[in-house]
Chains A and B, each alone.
Chain A
Amino acid sequence: MAAICSLYIINKSGGLIYYKDYGSAGRMDTNDSLRVASLWHSMHAISQQLSPVSGCLGIELLQADTFDLHCFQSLTGTKIFVVCEPGAQYMESLLKFVYELYTDYVLKNPFYEMEMPIRCELFDINLTQAVQKDRVAFLGR
């Protein structure tokens, strides 16, 4: 089971609406996670501008020395990205499943205001279960 270090959700304006750290050594405080999320939003947009062919949707996978960053962008511009150890597999499936959880437990919550930080207990619970589950199970979805 590959380790997942942290998971971020940012809205279409680049604001951080959800941040979950899973016990990495490089823990960031709230301000730093906000800055990192905003910076990723900008980098994602710039990578589209530098594409040599048309139809670019932005960075899907960033590979670094000590981690991989997988990013999923919905059609409405919400981005979900996860920082995991290098070579982790099935992250695309996990991100799509997290998007399902987001639509089911956050967007369908009548008390949730769009673009605001997510504070839904059911979303937290189901997300924790999804992260701990064997990700091969997501392939069938």
Chain B
Amino acid sequence: MQFFGGSEISPSPPAPTASGNNGHMMYVFNRNGVCLLYREWNRPLRTLDAQQDQKLMFGLLFSLKSLTAKMDPTSAVEKGNLGMPQLPGQGCSFHSFRTNTYKLSFMESPSGIKIILVTHPRTGDLRESLKYIYNLYVEYVVKNPLYTPGSPIRCELFNTTLDQYVRGIS
């Protein structure tokens, strides 16, 4: 049985055009693991309800960050135990992983904001795109005096601009 989240999941946009809409979904987390934004464009498969999905995604990212910091083959310093929280920017961090059905691109700002973009597997390097999305977040969300840090993002201008930008990513 499939579970459907509440109002957090926006209606899917129209079917992708010939130019290709490669985005599947996007998450934004703050440093405490709260999901500030979940944006979905094309997601036929759902295995969990929205809240569990977001928690699982954050747990995956946290553990992968810990794993990559531990596995860093170029650093001989003491890395501490697996699972120890890492400060943003500390140690080696991953920026993407690919499976046969999707590619997940990841960016973490020095303040701990995590931006995750899930696209089709043949997408190229999206690090610059995620930095641009972070700039959109700063311009439309952080600079919005009505926005309370730590609360979910409900800014229509940010959503519209984000949708336009992600649609153009190829």
Q: A residues touching B (Cβ–Cβ < 8 Å)?
A: 5-6, 24-28, 32, 35-36, 39-40, 42-43, 46-67, 69, 83
Contact = CB atoms under 8 A, between A and B. Distances in A.
A55 B118 CA distance: 16
Nearest to B67: A39
What is the interface of chain B mostly: helix, strand, loop, or mixed? mixed
A46 B99 contact: no
Given A43-B60, A46-B59, A56-B100, 4 more contacts: A36-B70, A59-B99, A60-B100, A63-B98
Interface residues of B, number: 40
Contacts of A49: 47-48, 56
What is the interface of chain A mostly: helix, strand, loop, or mixed? mixed
6 contacts: A32-B82, A36-B71, A36-B82, A39-B63, A60-B100, A62-B94
B71 A83 contact: yes
B47 A26 contact: no
Given A24-B73, A35-B82, A52-B43, A60 B94 contact: no
Contacts of A58: 99
B30 interface: no
A6 B24 CA distance: 33
Contacts of A52: 24-25, 42-45, 101-102, 118
Interface in B81-140: 82, 92-102, 104, 118
B36 interface: no
Contacts of A27: 76
Contacts of A43: 60, 63-64, 67
A53 B74 contact: no
Nearest 9 CB-CB pairs, A to B?
Answer: A24-B73, A5-B73, A52-B24, A64-B94, A25-B76, A52-B43, A56-B101, A62-B97, A64-B68
Contact of A67 (B43, B71, B97, B98): B71
B8 interface: no
Contact of B100 (A25, A55, A64): A55
A98 to B, nearest CB: 18
B63 A26 contact: no
Contact of A46 (B56, B96, B98): B56
B53 interface: yes
Given A26-B74, A50-B57, A66 B92 contact: yes
A99 B149 CA distance: 50
A6 B73 CA distance: 8
Interface in B36-50: 42-45, 47-48
A74 to B, nearest CB: 14
B101 A55 contact: yes
